Amino acid sequence: MEITELSLRHTNRLVEDLVHARLNTVDYFDYQITNNDVYEKRMNDLKNRTFAREELSDYLLSYHRKHFPENHAVTENIERLKQPDSLVVVGGQQAGLLTGPLYTIHKIISILVLSKQQEAKLSVPVIPIFWVAGEDHDFAEINHLFVSQNQVIKKKAIKHTQSEKIPVFHKELDQKECWNWICSVFETFGETDYSNTLMESLKQTLSTSKTYTQFFEKLTYEMFSEYGLVIMNSADPDLRKMESPFFQQFIRKNEEMSEALEAQQEFMSSAGYQPIIVTEKTSANLFYHHENHERSLLHRSKDKTYSVEDKLTFTEEELRHLAEQCPERLSNNVVTRPLMQECMLPTLAFIAGPGELTYWAELKKVFQVMDLKMPPVVPRLNITILERSIETDMMDVEIGIEDVFTRGVEKAREEWVSKREPSRMSPKIEDTKKQFEQIHRELRESALTIDKSLEPFLMKNAYFIQAQLDLLNSHIDKKIQQKHRVEMEKFTRIGKSLKPNDGFQERTWNIYYYLNKYGPNFLDEIVQLRYSFNNHHKIVKI
Ligand code: ADP
């Protein structure tokens, strides 16, 4: 395996401006990630803070003992959290089926790489933590994979009938249904020497998983525990006990938080960046959890009472009492989750996807209200896996990797055909269509002087003539495609592998396709490559 880099434009303008130091960073973030000393500075700032390290470490140890087999690297990392100078690199994601799109894997690799690099540089323990967004209830986001079936990219979703409002953490998984779904996914991958072992191992893990998040966490743990990755689930009731004092602070400063969010969003809009957090001004930015595990957003009234869908009402004091006595009845939303993370963990850096980066920028003033500094928010690594067979296809049809992302595969294909078929008919037919239209227009004008009621017939007649020429064009095009069928298929394969669904590979494809094709060492080899956080797109040739 080898790694090369490409400098590509980010489609998200805020990210693009941030990584090129064009953003007036202080307006959005507390640290300038393009500064060389950003992590030293952050480390020094954190020296003035205290964290419930013992409690956190004990909690994580018991969580891991409960859910995963013992792994020395992970246990040691959790123990190291007790050291007063230890730091963490953290990032999170929803619990996608079979670990979801590749970008989840890339995010975890980013966490591992940055923590390792900074531990060596700062000479203090830097622990990689991955939190699973278990309190999310958007099942539609995690219930599927994309596969290539009968030449087309298809979404393969799993059926599930439980209430939509239940966080994924509590969504029980039907093991039989899930196993059938896995089999149908693997069928599209095709059988290899690795398929049996891989599927057996998945079957085993599935048989010990009661919920979708458990299945996700166990698979993630199997893949990354040897690198010491610590897993947290933000929906775990025991974790929420530790969050209790911070919930109480969020309630105390609730109105100021909403005002700060609104002010920052207005500021961002006026600077030309589109905010993405959608929230009402009355939102308390906290969820209330009902007995049946459904959750509802709490709303704040002018008199500082809090209500849940007109069913329940709390005074501020009652809500703080709830936060103190039964914190598992509350959870964080998009606004309070980042704050909670900052209250709980000595975060050296937060690894963010492009969407997260934007919504964190919306929180700058909210962090201020809570007297917190936002940690360095670092864009995760962008990776494209370039398979050897695809690279060979690219050489055969003379398209470079940069071309794939800038010019696009379709444009390259058109140009390739134009070069091979200089007497291509398309331009000539286009020209003929124009000439016919001109002549036909003259005919129409004359005919209309005879009888105006002819107009609909004339227009239809013109349309048929043009349509016949289009038909001729597509017929000839088909012949060209057939003549160059082998090359056309190469273009299709290249597009499918590197720009599926017209986006980056990491947004569509899943790691299991590659594990099935290249074997169990595939992931380790990718993790162990040398990465630099320079915001260039990484091309990993395999
Ligand atoms: P083939 O497998 O015969 O090459 P496909 O049309 O199924 O034809 O796929 C074309 C290419 O797209 C594959 O060679 C592979 O590089 C990529 N591809 C297909 N399916 C997947 C998948 N599920 N995950 C990742 N890459 C895929």
Query: Is residue 164 pLDDT above 90, yes or no?
Result: no
> pTM here?
0.92
Q: Whose CA is nearest to atom 6 of ligand 1?
A: 151
Spatial distance between the Cα atoms of 259 and 45, rounded to a whole number of angstroms: 27
Residues 240 and 162 in one domain: yes
Q: Which of 503, 352, 349 is nearest to 14 (CA)?
A: 352
Residues 107 and 144 in one domain: yes
385 C-beta closer than 6 A to ligand 1:
no
Residues 134 and 97 in one domain: yes
Q: Is residue 304 part of a domain?
A: no
Mean pLDDT lowest among 102-106, 176-180, 413-417: 413-417
Residues 475 and 371 in one domain: no
Residues 107 and 244 in one domain: yes
| Distance from residue 176's CA to the centre of ligand 1 (Å) | 27
Residues 433 and 499 in one domain: yes
**pLDDT tens profile 9-51:** 888 889 889 888 888 999 999 999 989 999 999 999 999 999 9
Question: Residue 103 carries which side chain, given as an amino acid letter?
Answer: Y
Residues 434 and 508 in one domain: no
Question: Residue 359 carries which side chain, given as an amino acid letter?
Answer: Y
| Displacement of CA 338 from its chain's centroid (Å) | 16
| Distance from residue 188's CA to the centre of ligand 1 (Å) | 9
516 C-beta closer than 6 A to ligand 1:
no
Question: Residue 309 carries which side chain, given as an amino acid letter?
Answer: E
Q: Which of 223, 104, 167, 120 is nearest to 520 (CA)?
A: 223
Residues 419 and 357 in one domain: no
**pLDDT tens profile 202-230:** 999 999 999 999 999 999 999 999 999 99
382 C-beta closer than 6 A to ligand 1:
no
Mean pLDDT lowest among 10-24, 336-350, 473-487: 10-24
Q: Is residue 299 part of a domain?
A: no
Contacts 24+ apart (CB under 8 A), 398-402: 399/491, 399/494, 401/4, 401/6, 401/498, 401/539, 402/6
Residues 357 and 433 in one domain: no
Q: Which atom of ligand 1 is nearest to the CA of 146?
A: 23
**pLDDT tens profile 60-80:** 999 999 999 999 999 999 999
User: Per the structure, how many domains does the chain have?
Assistant: 2
**pLDDT tens profile 493-520:** 999 999 999 999 999 999 999 999 999 9
* CATH code: domain of residue 264: 3.40.50.620
What residue has token string 């149908």?
184
| Distance from residue 389's CA to the centre of ligand 1 (Å) | 10
286: enclosing H helix or E strand? strand 283-289
Look over the chain and give the mean of its residue pLDDT values, rounded to a whole number. Answer: 94
Q: How far is CA 377 from CA 36, 230, 274, 347, 432, in A?
A: 14, 19, 18, 10, 57
90: enclosing H helix or E strand? strand 87-93
Domain hosting residue 497, numbered range:
406-503
Q: Is residue 163 part of a domain?
A: yes
Residues 48 and 160 in one domain: yes
